[in-house]
Homo-oligomer: A and B are copies of this chain.
Amino acid sequence: MSSVIGNNIKISIFGESHGDCVGCVIDGLPAGFEIDMQDVNKEMARRAPGKDKTSTPRKEDDLPKVISGFLNGKTTGAPLAMIIENKNTKSGDYSNLMKVPRPSHSDYPAFIKFGANNDIRGGGHFSARLTAPLVFAGAIAKQILAGKDIFIGAHIKKIGSVCDSGFDYNNIEKELLEHLSSKSFSVIDEKCEELMRCEIEKYRSSGNSVGGEIECAVIGLPVGIGGNIFDTVEGKISSFVFGVPAVKGIQFGLGFGFAESNGASVNDGYEVKNGKIRTLSNNNGGVLGGMTSGAPIVFSVAMKPTPSISTAQKSVNLETMENEELVISGRHDPCVAVRAVPVIEAAAALAVLDLIM
């Protein structure tokens, strides 16, 4: 039962949605690394709520306060701890949820697991607000990786029925990733943004929510990173990514498309080009035998629709043990996939940093 992850870099995340704060401790960062805090704050802003109708109206400035491990603009080598205060909380909204669990949310299993002692307000420790410290830690990881010419970027591949162009698996430029990483609504094909916003609004306006898919790429890793049977690049990235609320699936390269494919069509042959070996295609998403192949790592994750919707739902009263209709009145994103883009990038960055350190 742990909110700690990593072998070489250990990230410990704490806090609750409506408690004093959320935060994290990052253990194992190299000493003397100059953190660009302005850049970190840009990443925080990408995830921050309250910007427009695609996100919850809860406004939080999400300014991280570093309280240890950082001196004169550089890491000291001691654990780096950070907190973000919670300011705009409205806990009254959640008063009835302790008794009547929200469908498809952590409420019911958490109630059983923690014997009703968990902090239900705003989802408590299970809230998507806990991704703020993840983005903070990931922003630092991305800076460290950039110093090693490793770059990460993601985009919204799909929302409901609207699809963005996908990455060209075998040919992903640093410029594209940096461009995607600079946006608060990340798509490759700019025309998609408006279509996706409409799709979200369609569901939001009717008190509903919609799911999405996020595609992420990592370039610049050397060949042979990752290891033996249980130390695969896929397993490592998955263990970080499933820590992000609402993620329900992950696939590398063709992923589930492989089930319908034949080897002759999808095998990634090799060629020598300019004295270097490279794959002719990258259906494997940059991972072979659990190790990096030198091609870009490409994976995508499925995100379920926000379970908190304002239309009436069937639930039960845990006290009376009778069926009860539930109407949720809190403030929620109609589509978590939009703000989850920097979170997936952060999870990937931390997984990759843990792999190479």
Write the residues of chain A forming the contact surface with B, with a CB cutoff of 8 angstroms: 1-5, 7, 10, 12-16, 19-23, 25, 27-28, 31-32, 67-69, 71, 74-81, 83, 101, 103-110, 112-119, 124-126, 130, 157-161, 203, 207-213, 223-224, 226-232, 234-235, 238-240, 242-243, 245, 247-264, 266-272, 275, 277, 279-280, 283-285, 288-294, 302-309, 311, 313-316, 318, 321-323, 337
Contact = CB atoms under 8 A, between A and B. Distances in A.
Contacts of A158: 259-260
Nearest first, the 9 A-B pairs at minimum CB distance are A106-B289, A249-B251, A113-B224, A1-B227, A78-B125, A269-B314, A31-B114, A249-B255, A235-B242
Given A103-B279, A275-B321, 10 more contacts: A3-B228, A15-B68, A103-B269, A112-B224, A125-B229, A159-B259, A211-B266, A243-B290, A259-B337, A271-B314
Among A78, A283, A307, find the residue whose CB has the most chain B CB atoms closer than 10 A: A78
A250 B47 CA distance: 26
A292 B263 CA distance: 37
A81 B248 contact: no
A190 B251 CA distance: 29
B304 A261 contact: yes
A230 to B, nearest CB: 4
Contact of A79 (B105, B125, B213, B250): B125
A1 B253 contact: no
A249 B242 contact: no
Number of copies: 4
Nearest to A242: B235
Among A81, A112, A234, A270, find the residue whose CB has the most chain B CB atoms closer than 10 A: A270
A159 to B, nearest CB: 8
Given A305-B266, A321-B272, A229 B104 contact: no
Given A4-B27, A293-B109, A267 B104 contact: yes
Given A3-B229, A104-B288, A230-B5, A76 B119 contact: yes
B228 A280 contact: no
Given A27-B3, A227-B2, A210 B112 contact: no
A13 to B, nearest CB: 5
Contacts of A106: 288-291
Among A3, A74, A158, A245, find the residue whose CB has the most chain B CB atoms closer than 10 A: A3
A224 B169 CA distance: 39
Contact of A68 (B16, B108, B289): B16
Contacts of A25: 12, 14, 25
B76 A118 contact: yes
A67 B81 contact: no
Contact of A248 (B3, B108, B254): B254
Contacts of A316: 270-272, 277
Contacts of A267: 103-104, 305, 307, 309, 313
